[in-house]
Chains A and B, each alone.
Chain A
Amino acid sequence: MTFHHEHFRQPFLRSPFIERIEALSSTENWTGWNTYKVPRVVDKLTSEYFAVRSGCAVMDLTPMEKYRISGNDAAAYLDRLVTRDISTLKPGRVTYIVWCNDDGKVIDDGTLFQLANNDYRLCAQHHQLDWLLMSASGFDVQIRTETSDVAALAVQGPTSYSVLTAAGIAGLDGLKPFGIANLRCDGIAVTVSRTGFTGDLGYEVWVEPQHALTIWDAIFGVQGQYDVVAMGLDALEMVRIEAGFIMPGFDFNTADATVRNGHDRSPYEIGLGWVVNLDKGHFTGRKALLAEKARPIQRRLTKIVVDGNKPVGEAFIYAGKNGKQIGEVRCTIWSPVLKANLALADIEYVNGKLSPKLWARFDYQRELKWHTAWAECHSQTKPFYTPDHRSATPPGRF
């Protein structure tokens, strides 16, 4: 990516899709994601949320950091970098990964796309080039940032398969979750992966930036047959919590940006023990994670349902009503599809165990007046919302 000298006039980068999103925006509610201009809400939050859960929502993924990792040692390098065993990953498949520093604290999470033998795309939440290059010494790998070289759209929701098919992308029937297919749309080469951050049926469409608008127009061209809604970050926040996905930098501090000792988190502590494979051989952070595994559990990022319907917002978690303060809510939403207050909370364990009684204390406002509420919380390990149509292959029509 090249920057001109007058970039100070325009603090946000413009994705190749931005003019279409600007045309749809009624709220002008913009924010930055990885320094790109992105909408919080394009038009109506509720419509964008229900598009994911009932129809089809489209979101610009271009700002997501993307790194291309290739070379003779690419597989070995990545296996050393991440906590998960990726030796079983095959070309055309995607896997969810985290990577740690030497202290076993999570630097970031992401998805790893194996595009071909020893050719990978790593999608990350935060800026990783420094760490990826630092980790590469001794490996025959080439690593480069390709964030702006690839335009990407998330197409998510029960009708996403139908929408993409109607938009002219044939061949999605057999694509399983976490699969990648190289297809065509309007004569343009597109890569489609069955991946997403919504917990619903969904795809991510990857295309060269010069074809971005053609693909956008093809997808939105099915309007009339199917409702297609451009969505912003606020709706994504709702659906990703329902799906139990975590957001580095928001639900936990990423290790490289953490100032205070003890404020970073290991994969276990954020509930990602299932992506740690201590038996696969050496990887960065393994020694520290082995030691942590041998100790009683200190804390976990825990999925909780908070009783009642009052907006939880910022809350402390207690071991029982008026009990000892043991945690804090990191993110929370009211789930329209589940009719429940959902939250992820960073909770300290006592003697290696989660307190059987969990209560949240939070403040909420009614016509400017503040009130304090206590509500019981119920922890769970499964995602809050996992509809069956999410993983059906071939996917249903809607």
Chain B
Amino acid sequence: MTKAYDAIVIGAGHNGLTNAAFLAKAGLDVLVVEKNNYVGGATVSRELHEGWKYSNCSYVCSLFRPEIYQALDLGRHGLKVIPLTASMTFKQDGDYFGSYYDSNVRRHELMRHSMRDADAAIRFDADVMRWCKLIRNFLLRTPPDPGSFRPRDAFEFAYLLKKFYELSESQIYEFMRFFTMSIAEYLENYFENEAILAHYSGGSIIGTGLGVYSPGTAYVLLHHAMGDVDGNIGSWGFSRGGMGAVSGALASSFKEYGGEIRTDAEVTQIRVSGKKTTGVVLASGEEISAKVVVSNLDAKRTFTKVMDPDDLPPELLQRAKNFKIRGSSGKLNIALDGMPTFPSLPKDSPLTLGHMHFTDTLKRLEKAYDDWKDDRWSADPYCDVLIPSQYDPSLAPPGKHMMTVFVQYCPVEPEGGWTDEKRDQFGQTVIDQIADYSPDFKDLLLHAEIRTPRELENEVGLTEGNIFQGELTFDQLMFNRPFPGYAQYRGPVKGMYMCGSSTHPGGGVMGAPGANAAREILRDLKRPDTTPVEFNDD
């Protein structure tokens, strides 16, 4: 008989570790169980080619809440987030559109493409900032249940309404439109230049089973813009050492609070007895007891794979089965023998320091989506390419480089199913696209890790390989995430909780779901709250 813990967290992803750290900080005896032989889930750095470290899944950092960073003392545990200073889109005609760090240069680049768009960017920036500031109020708060009359729900709902009604009448209309619009239609309110439209819309399809003309994608732009690096809202950064540094710092903080992590320990069942959680069963058959079990797995996996249907209300099971969690993304991690050149760019261009994209029209973006709907990977995919080794000496040997390539779209299951051969063909499509803009790229390629939704599901455990643990559409956000009535991190049986990106405020390396769930657990256990209050973002 193994010892009983106060709490078991299933999955050592960043949210599981965040949750576990706050529980341990409150004095609970906490065990994190992880199916892989490494921690991090989708926030991981692994050496798959000797001398190179990949950020195998997530690859940039912005959404991670600074309040959590501070409360868990992650700086002392080795975390450093270095801001990115550029982003760009290559055009097919040999030109490119760049977004530069310096505000003057950024404006001149906009003017180079469209005088009008350069001026419209001021209005665009202010409007997006307004929505970001609104939504940021709710990231470290438990969503209220709008159907409940409990004082706390009423208070939280009043808080939500108060923030909402701080907008003017016309701003309220705009905000409601924003949540239901497509990114293409939203951006066309501001910009006319094709490359600028394509550049700004890319962030709105990342991770979604939606296209640039699908309603709901405008919000995904916000989801990618609402983070910050040191107060610069919308900026992104690299964590030094790859994204594994985030989970590494969290694990280190958790252990310092007395927490315990067991890897190679896959949970096959959450045990329930008398409508209460009693612990977990591992694949090895070992049983571990705890009165609190927290699932960092996505909601679909939690309720359809590791909980017994008999322990669940049928309606919840039905919702879990129908949870919108469609895989649509692939990833290539590449070891390079040197820095690839991009002949479109002038010598010393700072644009290689940030996001690089190759899709210069909305039409091409939509076509990439069309392929996915037909269960094919995009023949002309949208790629988000970064070479973080330009900043980070820990990722590759001197003079060598690591490239991370996020790919949209890649089907959950191509016709006839995935094979290793098809996976490699998918990878080749991406490599060919990059080589179109970088003639020496293929010669420099030493090793590539190619990941389709199949690998993301099998290795990380994300259902269908959906990077957000569930689509970020309005029907699955706030008090609807993952399902109405279950948005406050509590599962259907006493002692069972959810802390993954399937819960509010959703996907991305944010840590907020983990912290919010910890707050609810500690509240139920009548323990002091160790989770941070959000920084006042007035």
A residues sitting closer than 8 Å to B (CB atoms) are 1-3, 5-9, 11-13, 32, 35, 102-103, 126-131, 133, 144-145, 256-262
Known: A7-B108, A8-B349, A12-B104. A261 touches B166 (CB 8 A): yes
Q: Which of B119, B120, B126, B168 has the most CB of A within 10 A?
A: B119
Give which listed residue, A6, A8, A11, A131, contacts B119 with CB less than 8 A: A131
Q: Which residues of A contact B104 (CB under 8 A)?
A: 11-13, 32, 35
In angstroms, Cα B105 to Cα A257, docked, is 19
Say whether, besides A256-B126, A261-B171, A7 and B109 are in contact (CB < 8 Å). Answer: yes
A262 to B109, CA, bound (A): 32
Residues of A with C-beta under 8 A to B123: 130-131, 256-257
Q: Quick one: given A130-B116, A258-B126, are A13 and B108 in contact (CB under 8 Å)?
A: yes
Residue in B closest to A256 when the chains form the complex, CB atoms: B123
Interface of B, secondary structure class, is helix
List of B residues within 8 angstroms of A262 by Cβ: 168
Q: Other CB < 8 Å A-B pairs besides A12-B104, A13-B108, A261-B167, 19 of them?
A: A5-B346, A7-B108, A7-B112, A9-B348, A13-B104, A35-B108, A102-B170, A103-B168, A127-B122, A130-B117, A130-B120, A131-B119, A131-B123, A145-B115, A256-B123, A257-B125, A259-B129, A259-B133, A261-B166
Q: B120 → chain A, closest Cβ, in Å?
A: 4
Query: Chain B 114-153, CB within 8 Å of chain A: the 1/0 string?
Result: 0111111011011001100100000000000000000000
Q: Which 7 A-B pairs have the closest CB atoms?
A: A3-B112, A130-B120, A130-B119, A127-B119, A11-B104, A35-B104, A129-B119
| CB within 8 Å for A8 and B171 given contacts A35-B107, A129-B115, A131-B119 | no
Residues of A within 8 A of B350 (CB): 8
B315 within 8 A of A: no
Q: Once bound together, how far apart are the Cα atoms of A322 and B166, in whole Å? A: 29
Bound-complex Cα distance A145 to B107 (A): 14
Cβ contacts under 8 Å, A102 to chain B: 170
Q: Which of A8, A11, A144, A257 has the most CB of B within 10 A?
A: A8
Q: What range describes how many residues of B lie at the interface?
A: 20 to 34
A133: which B residues are within 8 A, CB to CB? 116
Closest B residue to A7 by beta carbon equals: B108
Of residues 348 through 392 on chain B, the ones whose CB sits less than 8 Å from some CB of chain A are 348-350
Residues of B within 8 A of A6 (CB): 346
The answer, yes or no, to whether B111 is at the interface (CB within 8 Å) is: yes
Q: Is B100 interfacial (CB 8 A cutoff)?
A: yes
Minimum CB distance partner of B132 in chain A: A259
Cα separation A295 to B113 with both chains bound (whole Å): 45
Shortest Cβ distance from residue A133 to the other chain B in the assembled complex, whole angstroms: 6
**CB of B310 closer than 8 Å to a CB of A:** no
The interface residues of chain B lying within 8 Å CB-to-CB of A5 are: 345-346
Could you tell me if B111 and A1 are in contact, using CB atoms closer than 8 angstroms? yes
A169 CB to nearest B CB, Å: 32
Tally the A-B contacts, defined by beta carbons under 8 Å.
76
Question: Is B102 part of the binding interface, using a Cβ–Cβ cutoff of 8 Å?
Answer: yes
Chain A residues, Cβ within 8 Å of B346: 5-6
Q: A261-B166, A261-B171 are in contact. Are A8 and B102 (CB under 8 A)?
A: yes
- Alpha-carbon distance between A260 and B127 when the two chains are bound, in angstroms: 10
B→A interface (CB under 8 Å)? 98, 100, 102, 104-105, 107-109, 111-112, 115-120, 122-123, 125-126, 129-130, 133, 166-168, 170-171, 190, 345-346, 348-350
The answer for the CA separation of A131 and B117 in the assembled complex, in Å, is: 11
Chain B residues whose C-beta falls within 8 Å of the C-beta of A261 in the assembled complex: 166-168, 171
CB closest chain-B residue, reference A105? B168
Give CA–CA (A2, B115) in the complex, Å.
Answer: 10
What residue of chain B has the Cβ atom nearest to residue A132's Cβ?
B119
Docked Cα-Cα span, A256 to B130, in Å, equals: 12
Q: Which residue of chain B has the shortest Cβ distance to A148 in the bound complex?
A: B111
B119 engages A128 (CB within 8 Å) = yes
A129 touches B109 (CB 8 A): no
- Do A257 and B126 have beta carbons less than 8 Å apart? yes
CB distance from B175 to the nearest CB of A (A): 11
Docked Cα-Cα span, A257 to B103, in Å, equals 15
Please, could you name 26 A-B residue pairs with CB atoms under 8 Å apart, sorted by A? A3-B108, A8-B98, A8-B100, A8-B102, A8-B349, A9-B348, A11-B104, A13-B104, A35-B107, A35-B108, A126-B122, A127-B119, A128-B119, A129-B116, A129-B118, A130-B116, A133-B116, A256-B122, A257-B123, A257-B126, A258-B126, A259-B133, A260-B133, A261-B166, A261-B167, A261-B171
Give Cα A32–Cα B103 distance, bound, in whole angstroms: 10
Bound complex: CA A257 to CA B119 (Å): 11
Q: Considering the complex, give the chain A residue whose CB is closest to the CB of B168.
A: A261
Contacts of B349 in A (CB 8 A): 8
For A32, A126, A260, the residue with the greatest tally of chain B CB atoms inside 10 Å of its CB is A260
- Which A residues lie within 8 Å of B118 (CB)? 127, 129
Cβ-defined contact, B130 with A260, below 8 A? yes
- Nearest chain A CB to B238 CB, angstrom units: 21
Chain B residues closer than 8 Å to A9, beta-carbon distance: 348
Q: How far is the CA of A12 from the CA of B345 in the complex (A)?
A: 20
Q: In the complex, which residues of chain A have a beta carbon less than 8 angstroms from the beta carbon of B129? A: 259
With a 10 A CB-CB cut-off, give which of A7, A9, A131, A144 has the most chain B CB atoms.
A7
Question: Closest residue to B348 on the A side, CB-wise?
Answer: A9
A258 contacts across to B, CB distance below 8 A: 126
Q: How far is the CB of A4 from chain B (nearest CB, A)?
A: 8
CB neighbours (8 Å) of B167 from chain A are: 261
| Contact residues in A for B116 (Cβ distance below 8 Å) | 129-130, 133
Residues of B within 8 A of A256 (CB): 122-123, 126
Interface centre among A2, A5, A102, by most B CB within 10 Å? A5
Q: Which residue of B lies closest to A2 (CB)?
A: B112
A278 CB to nearest chain B CB (Å):
21
Considering the chains assembled together, what is the distance between the CA atoms of A129 and B348 in angstroms? 32
Most chain B CB neighbours (cut-off 10 Å) among A2, A6, A130, A261 = A130
Given contacts A5-B346, A7-B109, A11-B104, contact A257 B115 (CB under 8 A): no
Which of chain B's residues have a CB closer than 8 A to the CB of A260? 130, 133, 166
Give the distance in Å from the alpha carbon of A8 to the alpha carbon of B104 in the complex: 9
A128 to B115, CA, bound (A): 10
Complex Cα distance, B104 from A258, in Å, reads: 20
Nearest Cβ distance between residue B332 and chain A, in whole angstroms?
A: 28
Query: In the complex, what residues of B have CB within 8 A of residue A127's CB?
Result: 118-119, 122
Residues of B within 8 A of A259 (CB): 126, 129-130, 133
**Closest Cβ of chain B: how far from A14's Cβ, in Å?**
12
| A261: min CB distance to chain B, Å | 5
Contact of B122 (CB < 8 Å), options: A8, A11, A12, A257: A257
Residue of A at shortest CB range from B191?
A: A130
| A12, B122: Cα distance in complex, Å | 18
Residue numbers in B under 8 Å from A3 (CB-CB):
108-109, 111-112
Instruction: Tell me the bound Cα distance from A352 to B98 in angstroms.
Output: 50
Per the bound structure, the CA–CA distance linking A35 and B119 in Å amounts to: 13
B108, B118, B167, B350: which has the most chain A beta carbons within 10 Å?
B108
Known: A35-B107, A257-B126. A11 touches B102 (CB 8 A): yes
Bound-state CA distance A392–B331 (Å) is: 74
Contact status B126-A103, CB under 8 Å: no
CB distance from A307 to the nearest CB of B (A): 32
Given A103-B170, A261-B166; A7-B105 close (CB under 8 Å): yes
Set of chain B residues within 8 Å of A2, measured between Cβ atoms: 112
Q: Cα distance A52–B116 when bound, in Å?
A: 36
In the complex, how many angstroms separate the beta carbon of B111 from the nearest chain A beta carbon? 6
Q: Are B105 and A8 in contact (CB under 8 A)?
A: yes
What residues of chain A lie closer than 8 Å to B168, measured between beta carbons? 103, 261-262
Give the docked Cα–Cα distance between A7 and B123 (Å).
24
Of B109, B123, B129, most A-chain CB atoms within 10 Å:
B123
Q: A129: which B residues are within 8 A, CB to CB?
A: 115-116, 118-119
B126: which A residues are within 8 A, CB to CB?
256-259
Q: Nearest Cβ distance between residue B97 and chain A, in whole angstroms?
A: 11
Q: How far is the CA of A129 from the CA of B100 in the complex (A)?
A: 22
Q: How many angstroms from the CA of A231 to the CA of B125 in the assembled complex?
A: 33
B344 CB, nearest partner CB in chain A, Å: 9
The distance in angstroms between the C-alpha atoms of A32 and B102, with both chains bound, is 12
